[in-house]
Amino acid sequence: MIRRMMHPVAPTDSLELADPVDLPGTSLKVLVVEDDRPTRLLLERMIRGRGHDVHGCDSAEQARELLGKTFYPLIVLDIQLPGMNGLDFSRLLREHPQGKFYYILAGTGNNRPDDLRQILDAGADDYIGKPYHPGLLDVRLAVAEAAVKDIAERRRLEYDLEFLADHDPLTKLFNRRKLPLAVGDAVAEARAGRSGALLYIDLDNFKVVNDTLGHEAGDRLLLTVADILRSTVRADDILVRFGGDEFVIILPDCPVSDALNIGEGLRENIENLVFAEEGRTFRVGASIGIVPIDGSRESSDVLGVADAACYAAKAGGRNRVELYRETGGALETLVADNDWSSRIKNAMRDGTLGIYFQPVVAIAGRTILCHEVLLRLSDRPESAPVHPAAFMSAVQRSGQTAKLDRFVISRAVESLLGTPDAHLSINISGSSFANADFADYVEATLVAHSVGPERIIFELTENEVIANLVQAQSVMTSLRKRGFRFALDDFGTGTSSMNYLKSLPVDMIKIEGSFVRHLDADPFNQAVVRAVQALAAALKIPLVAEYVESRAVFDLLAKMGVEYIQGYLAGEPRTTPYSEDELFASQVFQETHGH
């Protein structure tokens, strides 16, 4: 049955409900609310015969008391009850925030259409006429059982998405979304007389483990470090995985001397970690920056100051703790940023800053949707190309982001001249969308090279547009009218992603790679991917899974109905785009697609 609009319940009718719990297999807890004792006993016997745990009572008042102690996902409710009647009780239950987690099967002796409509309007899911016919009751109970399991699955998914909104899927620590509120609370406490501190932790030599043993080993190392952080800090401290191998710890109500002791203890515990994989052992360290939260700085400045102290710790030799000082820490950051700024400027001029291409491939069929344009710095021949993660923070602080975006767009459009069938996706920063003339620049660049706008997809993350959403909407709308397309990248890192799907003109969704890399071994990630796939399918928006690196993950994504993949399994980043004939002729891809 379709539940109809419910009438409001009087505000004096308060209700306390036990927390919903996961369902234990096929057995349910069922509450029968029926004042006629023979009828109640009949219902209890039939429901118990279906393998369920049944509890009966004869009034809404007793049901309220029972529901306050135990979660009964299925309620068989008589409409005609002494005291509060079944209709009012159903309305009261549905008005509660947890009321959506119950399935209500209403029993009624009235079969007039108006009476049945009142039952549905009161919030019941289904109804059954009295006297109860065993065969019909069996059917109604079977429908209710299936619905209860659907409700439970939806409840688990909602919980997972709520958890995901502010937690890192790998370490289960808070993610960076937690920081603004937590730092703001710590600053407010400091101004009330309870000063605290913030620790910014960057692992040393993590890249060695990642590059030598692969991302899975790197993830296991991060999990070990997360356990060290949990075991070292206090119960009320807030642990955040800020990104990659960086962590932030907020220490509320903590003197600087205690923060230094905690930081040094963390450094020692991480330094003493011996990470062993494949017969090899590795040691990592931690550069830790500490900034007091004493109320003298706005919350928006605290993290940047701690980052500067961490820079100073790295510049001072790594594997050390640095307390921020107004001269030393900030100066070290400026020196490091200036070095990167000069390198990037020189690289754009001399051609050592180049673009790479990685294909986005259809799971079904032999087609390449597009190539993502990736940036690499190769200004030191003796070293491997540098990933943007190493210099993008410095580029952003030095105000070069928009200039770098235009450099990438120019090089990407030039590359399309030699590959007439290629389509490219290009990552764009919020700085570019803040420029009103960005749309005109992009169109002029394509016109100058005789390249059609349909060959370009711009990728953006919600973090890049959140600071100036109205301007971003304006620029995107303008570009979309001219034929360009847009992809929402890193989708799933928080509930805000859903909101941006409604407010931004998006043509493609790319699900955050951390949910994909270990998909075959992580039920939580599987639930997230299924939810995003269902959402994308409902909106008719193509979905891309990033970081696909194994056949097992590929097979699971195909089974889930994900349309496109990107990752090392399909094609590694390289300096020229792939042709479809070349890509699908590879042994790996033939095996993957079963050809």
Asked if pLDDT for residue 492 goes beyond 80, the answer is no
Q: Tell me the residue type at 569.
A: L
Classify burial at 54, counting beta carbons within 10 Å of its beta carbon; exposed 0-12, middle 13-18, buried 19 or more: buried
User: Quick one: what percent of the chain has pLDDT higher than 70?
Assistant: 88
pLDDT value, residue 565:
93
- Residue of 284 and 5 predicted with greater confidence: 284
Asked if pLDDT for residue 331 goes beyond 60, the answer is no
pLDDT value, residue 2:
36
pLDDT in tens, 86-99: 999 999 999 998 88
Q: Which single residue is written with the structure tokens 């060695």?
A: 208
For 413-430, letters b (16+ CB in 10 Å) and e give bebbeebeebbbbbbbbb
3-state secondary structure of 264: helix
Mean pLDDT of 246-269: 91
Sorted by where each starts, the structural domains of the chain and their CATH numbers stand as 29-165 (3.40.50.2300), 176-325 (3.30.70.270), 348-593 (3.20.20.450)
Residue 547: alpha-carbon gap to chain centroid: 15
Residue 426 pLDDT class (50, 70, 90 cuts): very high
pLDDT in tens, 273-314: 888 887 788 888 899 999 999 888 888 788 888 887 887 787
The sign of the dihedral angle between the CA atoms of 520, 526, 532, 536 is positive
Residues 235, 266 contacting (CB under 8 angstroms): no
Mean pLDDT of 478-495: 80
- pTM (2 d.p.): 0.48
Residues 74, 105 contacting (CB under 8 angstroms): yes
Residue 337 pLDDT class (50, 70, 90 cuts): low
pLDDT value, residue 453:
92
Asked if pLDDT for residue 61 goes beyond 90, the answer is yes
Residues 572, 549 contacting (CB under 8 angstroms): no
pLDDT in tens, 206-236: 888 877 788 888 899 999 999 999 998 888 8
Asked if pLDDT for residue 591 goes beyond 60, the answer is no
Asked if pLDDT for residue 592 goes beyond 60, the answer is no
Token pair recorded at residue 90: 């159903």
Instruction: Give the chain's radius of gyration (CA, Å).
Output: 29
Mean pLDDT of 447-457: 92
Residue 490 pLDDT class (50, 70, 90 cuts): confident
pLDDT value, residue 496:
53
Residues 71, 114 contacting (CB under 8 angstroms): no
Measured distance CA(195)–CA(190) in Å, rounded: 4
Mean pLDDT of 1-15: 44
Measured distance CA(467)–CA(382) in Å, rounded: 39
Instruction: Give the chain's mean pLDDT.
Output: 83
Asked if pLDDT for residue 491 goes beyond 90, the answer is no
- Cα–Cα distances (Å) from 158 to 43, 166, 469, 505, 549, in that order, read 32, 13, 26, 25, 28
pLDDT value, residue 326:
60
Comparing CA positions, the residue from 215, 198, 197 lying closest to residue 206 is: 215
For residue 274, how many other CB atoms are within 10 A of its CB? 8
Residues 145, 74 contacting (CB under 8 angstroms): yes
Residues 183, 303 contacting (CB under 8 angstroms): yes
Which pairs count as long-range contacts for 558-562, CB under 8 Å and 24+ apart, including other chains?
558/363, 558/364, 560/526, 560/529, 560/530, 560/533, 561/533, 561/537, 562/363, 562/529, 562/533
Mean pLDDT of 155-168: 76
Measured distance CA(481)–CA(284) in Å, rounded: 51
Asked if pLDDT for residue 204 goes beyond 90, the answer is no
pLDDT value, residue 356:
93
Question: Which segment of 82-86, 252-256, 328-332, 539-543 scores lowest on mean pLDDT?
Answer: 328-332
Asked if pLDDT for residue 42 goes beyond 80, the answer is yes
pLDDT in tens, 460-476: 876 666 656 777 778 88
Q: Tell me the residue type at 208.
A: V
Residues 373, 355 contacting (CB under 8 angstroms): yes
Residue 324 pLDDT class (50, 70, 90 cuts): confident
pLDDT value, residue 418:
81
3-state secondary structure of 148: helix
pLDDT value, residue 407:
92
pLDDT value, residue 6:
40
Residue 383: alpha-carbon gap to chain centroid: 34
The sign of the dihedral angle between the CA atoms of 168, 244, 561, 594 is negative
Asked if pLDDT for residue 329 goes beyond 50, the answer is no
Sheet strand arrangement including 246-251: 238-243, 246-251, 196-204, 285-293, 321-323
Asked if pLDDT for residue 495 goes beyond 70, the answer is no
